[in-house]
Each structure stands twice: as structure tokens, then as C-alpha cells.
Structure 1
Amino acid sequence: MSVPQTRTTARTSRRALASVAAAALIAGGALGSGYLPAATPALAQALPQSPIAAPEHPPGSFANIVDKVKPGVVSVKVKLDDSASSDDEDGPSGQQGQNLQNVPPQLREFFKRFGQNGPNGGPPGMQPQHQGPRGAVGSGFIISADGYVVTNNHVVDHAKTVQVTLDDGRTLDAKVIGKDSKTDIALLKIKDSGSYPYVQFGKAAPRVGDWVVAIGNPFGLGGTVTAGIVSARGRDIGAGPYDDFLQIDAPINKGNSGGPTFNVNGEVVGVNTAIASPSGGSVGLAFAIPAETVQAVVDQLKTDGKVARGYLGVQVQPVTQDIAEGLGMAKPKGALIDHAEDGTPAAKAGLKSGDVIESVNGNPINDAKELSRKIAGLKPGAKVEIAYLRGGK
């Protein structure tokens, strides 16, 4: 596996430290460390001025939360250009047709992307008799009063035209500002000027067991609300190099792609992007991109229209129990360097084959995937400290 690269000046101590300057890798979208500025109040009537207190017991109703945030959720309809393959009609474009060999065996057969439903985006059994150009449908949410909209890359990839339908029934043209296939995030902008209701990202990551509410456009039925809990965090389903999904059990289906998952404060904590299902419908296994990742990507897409990621220039592998014992480690953790590419920041810093990277900027690294995500989240040129184990020291 190739991971983000760094320039380092090695220093020896009990845990050697490396000062690293991340080099640039342009990836067609943006994953930076910045965050969107706080939006100006434009949902005064739709969003609370102060957070709704999270209940100690299951809420009797989610109606108050839905009333506040639903105006900021949109349906997305796309007409595909001629470059879209036939697979794009029922799978994700941009990531559709991916090799699923990296998907865990228990999910491989049932792994589904959702958000594209064939001609005109209509659900099966509800297609018009005379069908027009092939299209896709999905969901999204407005993040600023001037009409920036977040959705999935696989909803708008190969888009010839994009329209969004607001909660009040208006259908407006939108343009794609930027997209990132590696995290499956896209940023749109409504073309008509105006002040639009919007929602905000959560300030804290949800815990496993927290209540969540999903709103979207399943099977073309816009404004659909479902509820559930966060079932797990940090899921790697083989969808991309930076997988770090929330698993939720709120029922979501085709057409929910790109829609928001809210916490009980009415804040976006995730973007719905994939389901595992034997039938194509919800069986309680849904995956959402965490808000922290989405904010970082959106920030760069809004500024540059693409993602620039840091990289180290090393091939790494997990630290197994046997490897940990051989290196005198108390438990398996970190990322073992197989090889440092010549001329890369890692090589210049003195990192070598056999080193085990244990932390980045003081944050522990549990495995190789986490190292990839941490370094990719750095801006090119950033200086970082890497702690690594070499020869038991």
C-alpha cells in the first residue's frame, strides 16, 4: 500500500522522532485539514439557536428535529453524459465497477452502492412509459445560505446536467464545483442566487449507540425520514483507500446516496453512501462518511475544485502478533514499513524498511489504514513529527 509522504529529519531517542514535510499528490478532489467557516444564520426558523439537549432515554418523537433540518435537505437529479457506461445506471459512477476483492468476504456478495436508479432516476415499477436520457437520482444537503450542496461523487459523476429539488418543491439547476472519488464526496452550487435554508456539521463525532436521523430521496420519494442508531465506527468496507465509515441501522435505500445523517441536535454527523444488502433494499447495514472527513474534503473542493493530499512515499503493512513479538512490542499496533521509495520525503527523513510508525504528531497509529488517513489529511508542505520504533528503540 502506498501512503502519503513526508520529509523528515530523524532524531534518535527512546522513540525516534522525524520532522516531516508532506509532499503534494493531486487526487482530483480535496482532502485537506481545513474546515468550512461557520455559516451565517439563514435557517433561523429551521435550525435551533441553541442545541437541542440529547435525551437520556429514547426520544418519544423526532418530529421537532425533522421540522428544523428538513428544509436544508434536497433531492438530486442527474442526466448522464455519453461517457457514462451502462453500469452507471444502477451502480456508482466514479467508483462503480470497482474491484471488490478488497471488500470483506461477508460483505462482498451484498455490497451495494446506492443512488442511481436507471432512466430518469425513477424507481422500478414507476418508470414513465417513454423514457428519456439515462439519469441518476440521489440526495444532498445545503451547507450555506448561498446554496452550496454536498452529495456523493457517485451520484453526479458523468453528469451532463444536475438539478436539485428543495423541500418547498422548487427544482433548481446546479453545477458541480468539485468531486473526490477516493472519499466519494462532491460539492454542488445552486445556480440561482438567493438565501437558502441550510444545515450545519456536528462539532463532535457520534458515539456507538447514539440516535441518528436520516433524510433523503429513496426510490425518488423525496423528503423521507428514517431513524436508528450508530451501530459501529471505523468500518473499512473496501470502498476506497481512506475508508472510515460510520455504520448505522437507520433504513436507507437507493436514492439516499449523498443525504445527511443527523444527530439529536440536528447536526450532520455523516453522509450516507453505501449499503450491504442481499436484495438491494435496507437490511440495517448502512454506511456513512463521517462529518469530519466531509468537512475537510468540502473545504478544498470549494477553494480549489480538487483534492491535494500529503504523502510519505512508503509501502506499509499491518503489525501482526508474530511481528510484534519479534520486535519486542507489548502488543501489535502501528504500521510496519516494507519499503521507502527513493527520493520521497520518507526516504529523505531517514525512514527505513522495518521501522514501525507508532504516532503522527503525537496521535497514536493503530494500523496501516489509519496512517494513510492521517497523512492524507495533511496539507502538502506541512511539517509533522513521526514517532517510530527501530531495533527495539
Structure 2
Amino acid sequence: MRFGIAVAVGLAGALLCGTATAAERTVPQSEAALRYSFSPIVKRVSPAVVNVYASRVVQQRASPFMDDPFFRRFFGGEMNNAPRKRVQQSLGSGVIVDPSGIVVTNYHVIANADEVKVALSDKRELEAEVVLKDERMDLAVLRLKGGDGQYPIVSYADSDALEVGDLVLAIGDPFGVGQTVTSGIVSALARTQIGASDYQFFVQTDAAINPGNSGGALVDMDGKLVGINTAIYSRSGGSIGIGFAIPSNMVRVVVQSALKDGKLMLPWLGANLQQVTPEIADGLGIGRPRGALVTDVAANGPAAKAGLRSGDLVISVDGVEVDDPNGLNYRLATKGVDATVKLAYIRGGKTVAAELALIAAPETTPRDRRTIDGVSPFSGATVVNLSPAVIEELGYAGKRDNGVLIQSVESGSPAEGVGFRAGDIIVESNGVKIASTKDLADVAAQRASRYRLVIERGGRLIRTQVGR
């Protein structure tokens, strides 16, 4: 167990104060040592943990039955079928990390919100503006408005220093019942198969985390932030002792980007990676699955300039071992753009060292974002031109490096009706190659009774036909 600053421990309620080190980790040695309280930590940290209320206005038709002529005759046309406005609300938690009023929460707490409000522990309720939000990270950074500018904060800890078995506290607002504290231990580190964000690298804890805890603080025994509570594994919707938090080292990178220019710039490797299976490990002669296998390298990208080739197995970044592609991406992301890291990789059975210069993915082709309208199967699809920057931002997993990518599909639109999905690449329509969003807009403007389409989905070409 790690005993940190202001943890009340044993012997007649005396406080043992000191800075935790690896050498001080020990199990309780007496009954007195078991009689401790987390209250000093909670008193210091809880004022910086807030509730986040997000709301957005949606339009909803009052009665879908009025689309049916029978019901219109039956009710004499008296039913009002005009769209009605309805407010959707979501509730989560957040953590103040800068005294000027900078709050970190989860992206999914405030996604698509028209208005965001934050309730402080002293009962004040303030409006907040969204400074940065990033779905890939499932993180958002807010700035409080109208306050005094001197807010309590939670300082960052080095999440890489965490060890399995360390005590942690989760603080948030589960189910909207009010601020709640739960305790537990670090159950596992570097969890990468959770599916809660694109940059998967989570701290797992058995401290109870429930709906509403999203965006709350996971703190260590020094009262420092080691993670932002993000997800739970549950069949019932409640906590069963398996919760996940985004490590504080990643949170720090996102906040720094928000304060710098409001845009998150992540390092670009310029290579596609593959998980190493037991079969691949046997073929490589490495004994066990580990590392990230390079499958493709972009010309003139950072990986190519570092000397990486297809078939290389990256096993460490700056001396820290990586187990899979998500682990490698996390290590690079926490280093930040403009840094240089040392890679170790295996080629031909030998370990090779290389230096990798980290840069942001370039937008080699302007994205020219367009939402297609009119009468065509593409109507309602928002599309962009492909470039390394777009590929990184939208998480495109295929191998194509040019073309038109569907960024989103409007609900109820013709594009959704024919089966288009976000992430699809439109390659061809009626024999015309689609090389840009302008090409697609031109094709959509030419009405046709039949569309022979070629799209790429998940690296596979699909040929289909829409219309007569």
C-alpha cells in the first residue's frame, strides 16, 4: 500500500505525512495500520470535482400516425403534426485542472450539446464554453464563465508510475445523486481492448464507477489525478467492480493542446500497424505475442524516414515496452508533436534502434467538406477529401490514401436509406471515378434512375446498385 500526504493512518488517529515512493509500498503490519481514513484526501480533492450538465434542443414530430391517411380522416385533421422542440439532457462529472476554470470531462458527456453548465461543490452553477472536444480520446475541455477565476484544482500525477495494487479513489456524481466517493485499487494497467475510445490505453480499477461518474476524478493517495473515469464493464448498467479511466498523462496532453490553440494535434506515425497473434509470434520467432507489427509505410512519412519497413516489429518507445498497436499509439501521443523518440524494433531476428521525429499528420489535399443535398443516393452524406490528417482524425482503417470519405450520415436521409456509413469511401458512381468531393457533388447533381456504385468499407471493395 502506498501512504501519501495527509492520509490518516493508525495509532490513535495520528496523521502520517510524507511523499510516497516505490520503497514505501507495504501491506498493513498491524490492526492499527488498518484503521485509516481517506477523508483528508477527499476534503482536498472534492472541491475540484464538478457536475457537468449538457443539453441540446431536438425537434420531434408530435404524432407519426398523422403520416397515415386513415388516421388523418379518423381524427378529422385536428391532430397537430408540426415538429415540437424537446430538450435532451445528459449528466456527467468533471475535474478542474487549472485555477482559471479549466474543466476536463468526457466527450460523450457533452457531445452535440447546445448548452453546457457546471455545478461546483459550493452549489454555484456556471455556464461553460467548450474549448476542445475530441471523440478519438473521449475527452473534452471546458472553460468556466462568469466566476472569480480562482478555482480549486486537482494536480496531475504521473500515471506511468502507477502499479497494480495501488489504492485509488473515484469521485463523481453517479446517477445524479450527488458527489460520491468510492475506493479501490488499480486492478490492471494498459487495458487496450475496451472500445471506449480510439486511443485505448486505460487504467482499470475496482473502485465503484456508475453512470454519471463519467468525467470524474480517479486520484491516488497523494490526492493527485491519475485518470478520468470513463467507462464500466457491466451487464446490468451498474458497477460490478470493473471500471476504466483515461490515464492522466493523456489528459495532460489534451489540456495543454486546448490551452495552446484549442486544437488537438497528435503525432503521426505514417504507418499501418497490426496486432501480433500467437501464430505471427511463432513466425517471427519471438516466443510470445508483443509489440506492433508494421504492415504498410507511407512514403516520406515519419516511419519511412526513421527506416521502418513493412514486417518490422516495434517493441518499445524510449525504453518502455509496447504490447500492441494501441499501446504504441498511446506512447507516441503522450510524447506530443515536435518531440523525438527512440524506437526499438525487430527485423530479421535482430533488435534495431531508430529515432522517430513526431509531426502532425499533414493535410496534403484540402478536405473541402461538403454535405450532399438534392435527389440522389448521396443526399444527407457529409464527405471530405482524404489526406493523412483526415485519416488520423477520423480513424480511417483502410489502405486508400486518396478519394472521398463519408464523415457522417444524416439520420433519415437517402444516404442512410441506401446503407452508407461513416467511414465508407466512395470510389466510383456509374463508371465515373470519384477523386474529390467536387466530383461527388457533380455526380449527385445529375439525376439518374440507377446508380452503380463502388465503395470501400474496412479495406474491402463493395459493388452495388441503387435504383431501377
The TM-score normalised by the length of structure 2 is 0.59
Equivalent in the alignment of 2:284: 327
Equivalent in the alignment of 2:183: 227
- Mapped partners of 1:67, 1:296: distance in 2: 27
- Mapped partners of 1:167, 1:253: distance in 2: 19
Equivalent in the alignment of 2:166: 210
Equivalent in the alignment of 1:143: 97
Superimposed CA distance per residue, residues 173-229 of structure 1 (whole angstroms, 9 cap, x where no aligned partner): 111111121111111111124111222122453321222111111121222122122
1:149 positional shift: 1.0
Question: 3-state DSSP class of the match of 1:323?
Answer: helix
Distance 1:345 1:262, change over 3 A: closer
Equivalent in the alignment of 2:152: 197
1:369 positional shift: 2.1
- Mapped partners of 1:346, 1:160: distance in 2: 40
Distance 1:379 1:250, change over 3 A: closer
1:152 positional shift: 0.8
- C-alpha contact (below 8 Å) 1:146/1:193 kept by paired residues: no
Distance 1:189 1:332, change over 3 A: same
Equivalent in the alignment of 2:87: 133
Pick aligned residue for 1:354 from 311, 320, 334: 311
Q: Report 1:254-269 matches (<5 A).
A: 254-269=211-226
Equivalent in the alignment of 2:53: 77
1:386 positional shift: 2.8
- C-alpha contact (below 8 Å) 2:131/2:142 kept by paired residues: yes
Question: 3-state DSSP class of the match of 1:252?
Answer: coil
- C-alpha contact (below 8 Å) 1:309/1:378 kept by paired residues: no
Equivalent in the alignment of 1:20: none
What are the ranges of 5 or more consecutive residues in structure 2 without an aligned counterpart? 1-14, 29-33, 61-84, 351-468
- Mapped partners of 1:168, 1:360: distance in 2: 44
1:239 positional shift: 2.1
Equivalent position amino acid for 1:153 in 2: Y
Distance 1:221 1:318, change over 3 A: same
Matched, 1:183 2:159: no
1:337 positional shift: 1.6
Equivalent in the alignment of 1:270: 227
Distance 1:320 1:78, change over 3 A: closer
What value does the CA root-mean-square deviation take over the aligned residues? 2.6
- Mapped partners of 1:192, 1:286: distance in 2: 34
How many pairs align? 299
Matched, 1:371 2:342: no
Equivalent in the alignment of 1:313: 270
Q: Report 1:1-393 matches (<5 A).
A: 56-57=27-28, 58=34, 60-82=36-58, 133-194=87-148, 195-203=150-158, 205-236=161-192, 237-393=194-350
Question: 3-state DSSP class of the match of 1:352?
Answer: coil
- Mapped partners of 1:242, 1:328: distance in 2: 28
Distance 1:147 1:229, change over 3 A: same
- Mapped partners of 2:187, 2:219: distance in 1: 14
- Mapped partners of 2:191, 2:38: distance in 1: 27
Structure with more contact order per residue of length (Cα contacts < 8 Å, sep ≥ 6): 1
- Mapped partners of 2:337, 2:153: distance in 1: 31
Equivalent position amino acid for 2:249 in 1: E
- Mapped partners of 1:235, 1:182: distance in 2: 16
The TM-score normalised by the length of structure 1 is 0.69
1:360 positional shift: 2.9
- Mapped partners of 1:79, 1:210: distance in 2: 37
Equivalent position amino acid for 1:201 in 2: Y
Equivalent position amino acid for 2:324 in 1: D
- C-alpha contact (below 8 Å) 2:138/2:196 kept by paired residues: no
1:76 positional shift: 0.9
Question: 3-state DSSP class of the match of 2:348?
Answer: coil
Superimposed CA distance per residue, residues 123-182 of structure 1 (whole angstroms, 9 cap, x where no aligned partner): xxxxxxxx9611111111111222111111111111111111111111111111111211
- Mapped partners of 1:283, 1:331: distance in 2: 31
- Mapped partners of 2:317, 2:209: distance in 1: 36
Question: 3-state DSSP class of the match of 2:309?
Answer: coil
Superimposed CA distance per residue, residues 34-77 of structure 1 (whole angstroms, 9 cap, x where no aligned partner): xxxxxxxxxxxxxx9x7576885355322222122111111111
Equivalent position amino acid for 1:240 in 2: S
- Mapped partners of 1:358, 1:298: distance in 2: 28
Question: 3-state DSSP class of the match of 1:283?
Answer: coil
1:82 positional shift: 4.0
Question: 3-state DSSP class of the match of 1:134?
Answer: strand
Question: 3-state DSSP class of the match of 1:346?
Answer: helix
Greater radius of gyration (CA): 2
Question: 3-state DSSP class of the match of 2:223?
Answer: coil
